[in-house]
Homo-oligomer: A and B are copies of this chain.
Amino acid sequence: MSTNSIQLAHGGGGLEMNKLIRNLFFKAFDNCILRNEEDAALLNLQGPTAFTTDSFTVSPLFFAGGDIGKLAIAGTVNDLAMMGAEPQYLSLGVIIEEGFPMASLETIVASMASELKKCGAKIVCGDTKVVPKGCADGLFLNTTGVGRIVKPGLSAKRLMPGDAILVSGDIGRHGAAILMAREGLELESGLVSDCATLWGAVEQLLVHPFDIHAMRDATRGGLSAVLNEWAAASDVMIEVDEAAVPVSDEVKGLCELYGFEATDLANEGTFVMALPAAQADGALEVLKRFGHCENAVIIGRVGESPAGRVILHTPWGSNRYLDLPAGELLPRIC
C-alpha cells in the first residue's frame, strides 16, 4: 500500500485506520481525553453550554491566509465565541477522497493543531471516512464544538433601538481570497483571507462590563445576511452608513471586476456586534488592541421602523434596502 496517499483501507475500521489515527491525528491533537479511545469522549461540563456544528467543503483547500484546517477550527470556535462561550471541546469528522496526498493531509492537520493553540480548545473525538476516487472533492471536514457560556443572553433577538452596530474589521476578505485562488490571481495581490480565531478578542470584550446584545461572525451571506437576520429576529430597523463600512482596495477591485457586493461576501474572522451606542467607543478600544481587529469601526445603528429591514445610506445621500443575498453567490466558500 502506498503511504504517500490515502487508500480506502485508511477508512476501513481496521489496522490501517488505527495507524493513521495514531500516527497523524493523535500526535497532532494530543490530549488525554482523545487518547482514551472510547466510543465517546468524557467531558465534565457544568451549567449553560453552547453547542455548534459546521461542515467545511471549501475549494480550493489551500488559499491565501489559510486552508480548510484553519477554517474548520476558526469557524466552529468563532460560532461558540459569538454566543459568549469559551471554546472548550471539539469533535472532528474527516471525509477523505481515495488518493488524497498524505502530505496535504499532514499540512491541514498541522494547521488545525496550530489554530487550536490560539484559543485553548481541544479536539477530543473524531471520525475518519474514506470514499472512492471521484466520490468527494479531496477533503471535507466537520467540526462540532461545545463551550462554557461565560456571558449568557447574547442573541439575535436582543437588538434594541439605540444600539450601535460595529464590525471587527474590513469585510469580504475570505470570499475575495477564495475567488482569487480559483481564478489563479494569487500572485497579483496582497489580499489574504481574514480567517482567524476570534476567541482572544471576544474573551477580552466579555471581561468588560459591556452590555453586548448580539455578536455574529459574518460568514456565508456576509454582512448583509447577519444584519437582515438580526433585523428580522429582533423586529427592528438597522441603518448602515455605506461609507463607514471598511472594505480594502483589493476587495473593492475584485468586487468591481466580478460584480459582487462586498457586503455579500463571506468573512471567516470578522464579526458584527450590537451594543448600546454609549458603550461603542469603549468596546472599539478593546477590540483595536487585537491585530486582526484593528480596523474595527462603528458602521450603523438600530432604529424602529421599518421593522425587519436594513437601510444602507450611500455616500451620495441616497438610501436603499440592503437585502439578504439570493442566488448562488460564491459556492464552496467554506
Contact = CB atoms under 8 A, between A and B. Distances in A.
A256 interface: no
Contact of A14 (B16, B85, B95, B225): B225
B221 A37 contact: no
A326 B12 CA distance: 8
A9 interface: yes
Interface in A260-280: 264, 266
Interface in A128-183: 129-132, 134-137, 140, 142, 144-147, 149, 154-156
A220 interface: yes
A142 B9 CA distance: 20
Given A9-B327, A51-B124, A93-B93, A155 B14 contact: no
A205 B319 CA distance: 66
Given A49-B44, A79-B39, A331-B130, A93 B54 contact: yes
A328 interface: yes
Given A14-B225, A156-B37, A219-B13, A89 B132 contact: no
A108 interface: no
Contact of A328 (B8, B18, B93, B145): B8
B332 A55 contact: no
A257 interface: no
Nearest to A79: B39
Interface of A: 7-9, 11-18, 36-57, 59, 78-80, 82-83, 85, 89, 91-95, 124-127, 129-132, 134-137, 140, 142, 144-147, 149, 154-156, 216-217, 219-222, 225, 229, 233, 264, 266, 324-329, 331-334
A37 B233 contact: yes
Listed residue (A130, A132, A135, A229) with the most chain B CB atoms within 10 angstroms of its CB:
A135
A185 B143 CA distance: 37
A124 B146 CA distance: 13
Contact of A13 (B17, B124, B221): B221
Contacts of A130: 331
A135 B134 CA distance: 7
Nearest to A217: B39
B136 A328 contact: no
Contacts of A16: 326-327
Contacts of A80: 39-40
A48 B44 contact: yes
